[in-house]
Amino acid sequence: MFNKNEKVIVGGKSFDYDVFEYLLSRFKEAFSHSSLTIESAFRNLDEFDLALEDGKNQRSYDCYQALPSDKKKEVMDIIKSIIVFKGSKFGVFPDQLDGTQKQVDKLYHEYFEYFSNYVLYYSVFDENNNFDKIQTFHSLELLLYQLPSREIAYANAYNMQKDNLDAFDYAMSLKSISIPDIIKINSIVVRSDPDKVIGFKKTNNELFNASFTPVDKTMVPIEMQKLMNEYNNNFGEEILDPNEPGILPEERMNRTYKIFAKEALFHIRFERIHPFNDGNGRTGRILMNYNLLRQNIAPVIITNFMSNDYKKFINDFNVEGLTQLLVNSSSQQMANWVSIEKGGLSIKKSDISPDNRKLAELYGYKTDDQKVKGFMKKIKL
């Protein structure tokens, strides 16, 4: 959408491309967390983490660390054997145990390496600081139930966030958006969902707390085509460029407001069509921000604080209410960007690249996902 060799105009202000890229990367992080679906996934992960932290025993860890090296290895070998033995009872792996430490080490490394940050805290030492194998056997059982669930919650939250970011980036790479592009954006948004449906919905949606019934699945292609045609014709309104040189500030504001009203109307109609089985809100908000940026207007974030009004405006088909909400959110985003730029941040290429951000860990996470899910299926959790 933007040329790397040119300055980027947003809200009538000119940004160097590298600066804009950095500002947009900050926006995307906040934008991905603003999704209630993604936020719910992270809350679920937090609940697992809190439960696991509560179960930790610092004394056990300290007792282990005080052991001489040979005793440490002996205790760790026992812990690994317990974990692998219990895992075999759940059918985590097809191998038959032969009782050798070599096989235990191999299976532990392949299936249970992520237990290592917890096992020492869940081991048990008696009052004389001697390792208690029997009590440790029972204590570690809790991890066999909780940690795989936590790993799935971790994968779900971070993969969902990454999918949302990838869908946003894909949209931003397009010069214009067509219906096939919208379908592609949604397919990226729901990419990690094992029950994902590619393309328009195959079953009708059931929305809770909604005052409207989404469009029937058979009518979605027709309604989407109608919506896109009307949007491309500005819903019959005259939309003039608010950045046209020489116009008065009041006229500039009126033209900008009309753009927000156009996007609010599109968004409400899109969400009420609800063209997909899942990811409609995430897809719709990506489209909205793509359209705003394409028209040189700062994007928006629907925060938790705004979510009730946001949903109500869609329920009530309140275009004016949603328009004002978008105006306020975009204005705040623009103010943040100007403030950051004026703050004189030293922006380096390493700051801009997502590979150097905390999200980098997400890009390789899915590799062990199936092992964890297979384990959970076996123990029916």
DSSP 265-327: HHHHHHHHH--SSS-HHHHHHHHHHHHHHHTT-------HHHHHHHHHHHHTT-HHHHHHHHH
Same-domain check for residues 208 and 82: no
pLDDT band at 345 (very low <50, low <70, confident <90, very high): low
* Residue 127 pLDDT: 95
Same-domain check for residues 239 and 295: yes
Same-domain check for residues 243 and 338: yes
Q: Is pLDDT of 181 > 50?
A: yes
Average pLDDT score over residue span 94-121: 91
In a domain, 19, yes or no: no
Q: What is the CATH number of the domain that holds 220?
A: 1.10.3290.10
* Residue 380 pLDDT: 39
Same-domain check for residues 209 and 326: yes
* Residue 229 pLDDT: 98
pLDDT band at 145 (very low <50, low <70, confident <90, very high): confident
pLDDT band at 210 (very low <50, low <70, confident <90, very high): confident
In a domain, 237, yes or no: yes
* Residue 31 pLDDT: 92
Same-domain check for residues 195 and 332: yes
Q: Is pLDDT of 365 > 80?
A: no
Same-domain check for residues 188 and 254: yes
Three-class DSSP category at 8: strand
In a domain, 150, yes or no: yes
* Residue 12 pLDDT: 85
**374 or 55, which is more confident?**
55
Same-domain check for residues 111 and 233: no
Say what percent of the chain tops pLDDT 90: 72
Choose the final residue of a domain: 119, 154, 189: 154
- Lowest mean pLDDT across 82-86, 102-106, 360-364: 360-364
According to DSSP, the residues that pair with 15 across neighbouring strands are: 8
Q: Give me the number of domains the chain comprises.
A: 2
Per-residue model confidence as pLDDT tens digits over 217-274: 999 999 999 999 999 999 999 999 998 889 999 999 999 999 999 999 999 999 999 9
Per-residue model confidence as pLDDT tens digits over 59-97: 999 999 999 999 999 999 999 999 999 988 877 777 788
Q: Is pLDDT of 194 > 60?
A: yes
Three-state secondary structure of 97-151: CCCCHHHHHHHHHHHCHHHCCCHHHHCCECCCCCECHHHHHHHHHHHHHHHHHHH
Average pLDDT score over residue span 144-153: 91
Distance CA 3, CA 25 (A): 16
331 alpha-carbon distance from chain centroid: 24
Of 378, 361, 358, whose CA–CA distance to 370 is shortest? Answer: 378
In a domain, 357, yes or no: no
Count the residues in the chain. Answer: 381
Residue 273, domain extent: 176-347
pLDDT band at 130 (very low <50, low <70, confident <90, very high): very high
**159 or 347, which is more confident?**
159
Distance CA 250, CA 40 (A): 41
* Residue 290 pLDDT: 97
In a domain, 23, yes or no: no
- Please list, in sequence order, all residues whose beta carbon lies within 8 angstroms of the beta carbon of residue 204, skipping any fewer than 6 positions away: 214, 216, 217
In a domain, 281, yes or no: yes
Same-domain check for residues 238 and 337: yes
- Residue 62's alpha-carbon distances to 24, 53, 80, 247, 376, in angstroms, are 45, 16, 19, 71, 31
Distance CA 120, CA 160 (A): 31
* Helix 36-54 / helix 133-172 crossing angle, nearest 10 deg: 160
Same-domain check for residues 121 and 237: no
Distance CA 269, CA 262 (A): 11
* Residue 265 pLDDT: 98
Distance CA 368, CA 151 (A): 10
In a domain, 13, yes or no: no
Q: Is pLDDT of 332 > 90?
A: yes
**170 or 13, which is more confident?**
170
- If you search the block for the tokens 């207007």, which residue do you land on? 297
56 alpha-carbon distance from chain centroid: 28
- If you search the block for the tokens 């029950």, which residue do you land on? 195
Choose the final residue of a domain: 105, 120, 154: 154
* Residue 359 pLDDT: 35
* Residue 344 pLDDT: 61
* Residue 42 pLDDT: 92
In a domain, 185, yes or no: yes
Same-domain check for residues 147 and 185: no
Same-domain check for residues 242 and 97: no
**Average pLDDT in the chain:** 88
Same-domain check for residues 129 and 234: no
